[in-house]
Amino acid sequence: MPLRPARGRRHTLRTALIALATATAAALSAAPPAAAADTWTEVGSDRADPLTESQGLASVEVPANSANRYTGIGTIPFGVSTRGWNHVGDPDASYDGYYVEPYQRDSGTSKMYRVQAPGGAWSEYVHALSPGEALNNSWVAIAPGGQWMLTGEWGTMTRLIVLPTPGVNPSTSPSANLPQASTVRLDRAVRDVQGCDFTGPTTLLCSSDDPAGTLFGMTKPLLQIDLSAEPGGSGDVNGRVTALRQLPLRSSCSGSFETEGIDYDRRTGTLRVIVVSPGFCVLTDSKTYRFTR
């Protein structure tokens, strides 16, 4: 007859196994998400025109077969620039076809978002700066649900700002202030973010123009931000920041590159990022790089 452990020893073994399982579950929940690994492979590039494709880009799903949209100093309408809105950032489009461009002035207390509805009509929405908010308006990223969008500030920041999506969220109006709804609080600082785009309900990819490399051990990183919940007007959410890789820095000229806007096209699974070349080569070999996973 085989020996059997005493009852007390069985109880001790069972307790130890439960404790081990609990500790393992806790460790797994605290571990970085698997999606944080860099699974993006560079598959090609296209020349980025310095006047019309040097600030940002967006894939537009509605109407069907719409061309990709780009922004640059040459895409700012004359009637917009003469009113002081002389810088356009990285745009985005909602899944139902609303296209949003972020604008800023050299001075003042507001930002502007120019919106094109699926039918083609344009409208403008002004956001009065919240206390402590920086003036620059580098990018917008519309959440997949469409009702809310994120925007960011230049410099070293530990937050992203949540706004109702103008033209989509029924609370918005061109004749009323576009108010801050909530905040994404980041677990690590980010620097000089030039664009972000959602790849899922709670996942963002962002292009950083960080020239120092002290935050993540690399300059010009591609960042992933995993949110604790979908952003909206019901309260702040947390964001976990991971650096995936350095963005391509290749040119015939030497000097300082500038990373610009970013876009994820869910129809093809293609990620695109603009990198502007230094010096004279801004005219010749600035690129929109393409990645897939």
Residue 14 is encoded by which pair of tokens?
A: 């069972």
Which CATH class name applies to 38-292?
mainly beta
Instruction: List residues bridging with 104 in a β-sheet.
Output: 87
How much is the pLDDT for 27?
Answer: 38
Model pTM score: 0.87
Query: What is the C-alpha to C-alpha distance for residues 209 and 247, in angstroms, rounded to an integer?
Result: 9
Instruction: List residues bridging with 122 in a β-sheet.
Output: 116
Residue 80 is encoded by which pair of tokens?
A: 């917009």
Query: What is the C-alpha to C-alpha distance for residues 130 and 111, in angstroms, rounded to an integer?
Result: 11
Q: Taking the CB of residue 99, how many other CB atoms lie within 10 A of it?
A: 21
Residue in the block written with tokens 């949540």: 162
Q: How many CA atoms lie within 13 A of 78 on its CB side?
A: 0
**Any idea where the domains of the chain sit in the sequence?**
38-292
How much is the pLDDT for 252?
Answer: 98
How much is the pLDDT for 3?
Answer: 40
Query: What is the C-alpha to C-alpha distance for residues 285 and 278, in angstroms, rounded to an integer?
Result: 9
Average confidence (pLDDT) per 10 residues, the chain, 293 residues: 41 41 39 56 98 98 91 98 98 97 98 96 98 96 98 96 98 98 98 98 98 97 98 97 98 98 97 98 98 96
Q: Taking the CB of residue 210, how many other CB atoms lie within 10 A of it?
A: 24
